[in-house]
Structure 1
Amino acid sequence: MKLPRLVSLLGYAGLIPFLVGPAWLSLSPATAPHWLDHAWFVWVGMIASFMAGTFWGFALPASEGPAGILGLLVSMALMLAAWTAMSLPLVPALVGLIVVFLLLLVADFWRERTLGAVDGYFALRIALTVGACLAIGWRLAI
């Protein structure tokens, strides 16, 4: 299966909110609405949870075998890790979310080799993970 172009387009579009928050807070902090940072933070956590859900979706067809069951358990653990990170104060939460995104990438690396690959998906995940982690790091630096 080849990765549809729409998936790449939507993936990169999902990075826009990751970048808008830190950019606005860096370039014009006086004009940033009071809700911006919270909305940005919620977006980051929601995407981390969403990505854990996509991992569930990849593991589901193989769920009758041991690798599929492990995939489902990994997905749930990653979703719980995202929720736990979101429950922390801002700085530890952002560090935790970086860890979650990196663990999601490691999990996708395992999934590609164990449960099957989709051409182009892992390369997209690498690019999006780098973008997300850089944006979170940027926000931490502000």
Structure 2
Amino acid sequence: MKLPRLVSLLGYAGLIPFFAGPLWLSLSPATVPHWLDHAWLVWVGMIAAFMAGTFWGFALPAAEGPAGTMGLLFSMALMLAAWTAMTLARPAALTGLILVFLLLLLADFWRERTLGAVEGYFGLRTALTVGACLAIAWRLAL
């Protein structure tokens, strides 16, 4: 199966809010609404949990076997990690979310080799993870 173009477009579109918050805070901090930083953090956490859920979807067809069971457990652990990061205070939450995105990429590396590959998916995930981590690091630096 080849990755549909729409998946790539939606993936990259999902990075827009990742960069919009830090960009606004950098270019015009006096005009930033009070709710922006909270909304931005919720977006980042929601995407981390969503990506853990996609991992569940990849593992589900193989759930009867040991690799599928391991994939389901990885998915649950990653969702809990995203939730835990969201409960932390500001710098720790951002650092935790970077760690979650890196763990998601590592889990996808395992999934590609164990549960099967979708042409182009891991490359897309790598690019999106780098983008997400750069945006979070940018916000962390502000």
Report the TM range for the smaller structure's normalisation: over 0.9
Gap runs ≥5 in structure 1: none
Q: Deviations over 1:28-77 (max 9, x none)?
A: 00011110000000000000000000000000000000000000000000
1:12 aligns with 12
SS in 1 for 2:116: coil
Deviation at 1:81, TM superposition (A): 0.3
Identity between Structure 1 and Structure 2 (%): 84
* 1:43 corresponds to 2:52: no
Counterpart of 1:79?
A: 79
Q: Distance in 1 between matches of 2:37 and 2:124?
A: 26
Q: Deviations over 1:102-138 (max 9, x none)?
A: 0000000000000000000000000000000000000
Instruction: Show structure 1 runs of 4+ deviating over 6 A.
Output: none
- Structure 2, unpaired ranges of 5+: none
Q: Give 1:82 shift.
A: 0.3
1:52 aligned partner, one-letter code: A
Q: Which amino acid aligns with 1:112?
A: E
Equivalent residue number for residue 123 of structure 1 = 123
TM-score norm. by structure 2 comes to 1.00
Answering whether residue 26 of structure 2 is matched by residue 29 of structure 1, we say no
RMSD across aligned positions (CA): 0.3
CA distance in 2, matches of 1:120, 1:27: 35
The answer as to 2:109 corresponding to 1:109 is yes
State how far apart, in whole Å, the 1-side matches of 2:89 and 2:61 are.
37
